[in-house]
Amino acid sequence: MSRAPAAPPGWTATVAGEWLKLRAMRGSLVIACLGPLLGTALCVLLAVAVGLESDGWSQQDRVEFDPLLFPLVSGLVSAVLLVVLGVRGGACEYRAGLVRLTLTVTPRRGRVLLAKIVVIAVASWVGFTVVTVLAALAAQPVFHAYGLPDVTNADLAAGREVRTLAADIGLAPVFPLIGLALAVLTRSAAGALTSVLALLFAPSIAGGLLPAWWAAHMLIYLPGPATDSLSLTGSDDVGLLSPGVAVPVVAAWLALFLGAAHRCLQRRDA
């Protein structure tokens, strides 16, 4: 009597499998350790540097000092490392040839991609939050030692700093997911990483080289400036999109990259 074919794994098993693969990848542990260490060290160094310069500040400068900006600066380190994690989550299976086994066990390719998206998004949220919190806590004793306001006594009544922090944490998965999509499209970690870092940093570099019209009407709609418009809401920078425009722009970029990755995964041989 012939044996019935085994049923494909369910959604929970697919997500668990993608999480295990991400954990087992060479370098994942290094990224998980480097993010908090480098982010915290950078935040403390910046706090010490500012503290050493604070002797010449006026009382108004001390009142306007914003202690929450330092964890956000250190979060840039973890953001780059999370992009690397997202790229590796999409590309390493192709390099090792494991993608054929994955798609044999789970023939529904859209489910595989969605599971990768969930795993990378959750890992990005958790990782960025941990780095930001650790950096903020590590910097507070330095601020206190130099007589600067810390998070416990800073004036956060306006809520702008808290909104900025929450927006940065909420937007943490955007570029790792773009990196995941580009890795699926290119099947190359190097090509995907170069492309996503260009999207992240090139607008800031090119903005000073191109005519002002391009910066104000074209570059501002790229993923990097659009996410900046959400995290810097309420600032005086006139070169930012309004939240009502920035949200659909960011969502459209994510839908474009992930939709292209899904179509490519469905139509292309493993």
Which residue is associated with the tokens 């990259």? 257
Among the residue ranges 44-58, 93-107, 175-189, the one predicted with the least confidence is 93-107
Q: Which two tokens stand for residue 37?
A: 């260490």
Q: Is residue 73 within 8 Å of residue 42, measured between CB atoms?
A: yes
Contacts of 238 (CB under 8 A, 6+ apart): none
Q: Which of 254, 260, 224, 259 is nearest to 240 (CA)?
A: 224
Task: Give the count of beta carbons closer than 10 Å to the beta carbon of residue 267.
Answer: 8
Summarize pLDDT for 42-60 with one digit per residue, the tens.
888 988 988 888 887 877 7
User: How far, in Å, are 67, 133, 139, 226, 244 from residue 43 at the CA level?
Assistant: 10, 11, 6, 25, 32
Task: Give start and end residues of each alpha helix (H) in the chain.
Answer: 11-24, 28-53, 59-64, 69-96, 99-105, 109-145, 160-170, 174-186, 189-206, 212-217, 223-231, 243-267
Percent of the chain with pLDDT over 70: 86
Specify whether the CB–CB gap between 229 and 168 falls below 8 A.
Answer: no
Question: How large is the average pLDDT for residues 221-247?
Answer: 77
CB 60 within 8 A of CB 151: no
Out of 4-8, 44-48, 79-83, which region has the weakest mean confidence (pLDDT)?
Answer: 4-8
Spatial separation of the C-alpha atoms in residues 217 and 201, rounded to whole Å: 18
pLDDT in tens, 108-150: 888 999 999 999 999 999 988 888 888 888 888 888 888 877 6
Spatial CA neighbour of 65 closest among 129, 124, 153: 153
Of 94, 97, 75, nearest to 192 by C-alpha is 94
Name the residue ranges covered by the structural domains of the chain: 11-267
Tell me how far CA of residue 188 lies from CA of 88, 89, 136, 218, 227, in angstroms. 9, 11, 35, 28, 25
Comparison of pLDDT for 172 and 66, the residue scoring more: 172
pTM score: 0.87
pLDDT-derived band of residue 1, with 50, 70 and 90 as boundaries? very low
